[in-house]
Amino acid sequence: MSRVELTGIAKSFDDLQALDDVSVDVEDGSFFVLLGPSGAGKTTTLRVIAGLEAPDVGDVRFDGHSAGGATPAERDVAMVFQSYALYPKQTVAQNIASPLRARNVGPDEMQKRVEEVATLLRIDHLLQRHPGQLSGGEQQRVALGRALVREPRAFLMDEPLTNLDVKLRVEMRAELTRLHRHVGRTFIYVSNDQAEAMAMADRIAVLHEGRIQQVGTPEEVYDHPVNRFVATFVGSSRMNLLDCEVQDEVLIGTDGWRLPAPPAALGHPGRLQLGVRPEDLSVAGEGSGGHALRGVVYAVEPLGDRVLLDVEIGDTVIRVKAAPTVVHEVGQALDVCVDLTRAHLFDHDTGLALS
């Protein structure tokens, strides 16, 4: 059992408030991702959970018991970092076994545990090699093996895939989710990569400037972002934002366009922003209906299966993921269809989503 709860955590370094009222509840056995840009406070949160950093205010609980002044060892969590220091003069087997040696585990038990972990990580054929004879991905697996062999109550991972190339990262994502299912322990994983978070997490906490913005499943933060920050941070291509206001049930764009106002906009005076993801836009005539914005093609970027179009709508450039079948040219006028059922509305000044 290892449910991890943070309540009202605050942490400052001199006059910089790194964490402000951070509360999250990580269910036992879940894959929980702390997602946010650089400096958001992700590593500090992980260090507070591990007991490497004491919060100024707030409480960390494991299975309902306050961790209070417990040391990192007493908390029985394993940390895996992006820079993994393996012992270069030891074999892979010796590296993986090192936490067990520190605990005086007998040689037979040690060999059994190392072999089990190596099989799980698919590095059993590498056990007699030295770290210098391994690829980056294999070294990362050895570092994971060293954490796994201890069987801690929870794994805390700080961007462990950052140093791997793109292809290997994608492969390791799948490996980590497989591993998580197999070991069934709580994983708390720090990432600044929204695609990584979406692919692996059961639940995501989006952090920004030391504050939790939203906690939810990948689908919840993607489909129902609570504010503009979450909406634009989550998603493989950035959400488009168009300034507008509502008058007589019509959404009127600052750039002159008009669309029927979604129910959430009605009765909301003042400046708004319409948020639409590039994948929820299409070019008129490509088979998708909807309400249209008149624009001019500004740039064309073929992606193979789709074409990314930058389209000028008045003074605003929006991005559209279009079908690759029709050739588009810079300077061409076209109508961009908006799927209003997938659109979001934000208060322009507070950035909060209207619902």
Closest CB to ligand ATP among 50 and 320?
A: 50
**Rounded to an integer, what distance in angstroms lies between the CA atom of residue 75 and that of residue 85?**
22
**Rounded to an integer, what distance in angstroms lies between the CA atom of residue 167 and that of residue 152?**
29
Q: Is 101 helix (H, G, I), strand (E, B) or coil?
A: helix
Closest CB to ligand ATP among 43 and 140?
A: 43
Task: Report in angstroms how near the CB of residue 11 gets to ligand ATP at its nearest.
Answer: 8
- How many CA atoms are closer than 13 Å to the CA of 105, on its beta-carbon side? 17
> Of these, 4, 6, 9, 18, which contacts ligand ATP (CB under 6 A)?
18
Nearest residue to 47 (alpha-carbon basis) of 86, 11, 97, 88: 11
Closest CB to ligand ATP among 16 and 85?
A: 16
CB 173, CB 137: distance < 8 Å: no
Tokens 């050895």 map to which residue? Answer: 142
Q: Which of residues 25-64 bind ligand ATP (CB under 6 A)?
A: 36, 38-44
CB 170, CB 163: distance < 8 Å: no
Task: Kindly indicate which of the ranges 12-20, 165-173, 242-250, 277-285 contains the residues binding ligand ATP, using the contact rule CB under 6 A.
Answer: 12-20
CB 259, CB 340: distance < 8 Å: yes
Binding flag, residue 341, ligand ATP (CB under 6 A): no
Closest CB to ligand ATP among 55 and 131?
A: 55
Q: Which of residues 260-299 bind ligand ATP (CB under 6 A)?
A: none
Task: Report in angstroms how near the CB of residue 206 gets to ligand ATP at its nearest.
Answer: 11
Task: Report in angstroms how near the CB of residue 23 gets to ligand ATP at its nearest.
Answer: 16
Contact pattern from residue 176 through residue 195 relative to ligand ATP, giving x for each residue in contact according to CB under 6 A and a dash for the rest: ----------------x---
Closest CB to ligand ATP among 206 and 272?
A: 206
**Rounded to an integer, what distance in angstroms lies between the CA atom of residue 187 and that of residue 180?**
7
Q: What amino acid occupies position 355?
A: S
Task: Report in angstroms how near the CB of residue 170 gets to ligand ATP at its nearest.
Answer: 20
Closest CB to ligand ATP among 192 and 214?
A: 192
SS (H, E, C) 118-168: HHHCCCHHHCCCCHHHCCHHHHHHHHHHHHHCCCCCEEEEECCCCCCCHHH
Which helix (H) or strand (E) segment holds residue 179: the answer is helix 166-183
Task: Report in angstroms how near the CB of residue 27 gets to ligand ATP at its nearest.
Answer: 23
**Rounded to an integer, what distance in angstroms lies between the CA atom of residue 340 and that of residue 1?**
44
Closest CB to ligand ATP among 39 and 351?
A: 39
Q: Which of residues 192-231 bind ligand ATP (CB under 6 A)?
A: 192
Interacting residue ranges for ligand ATP, rule: CB under 6 A = 13, 16, 18, 36, 38-44, 192
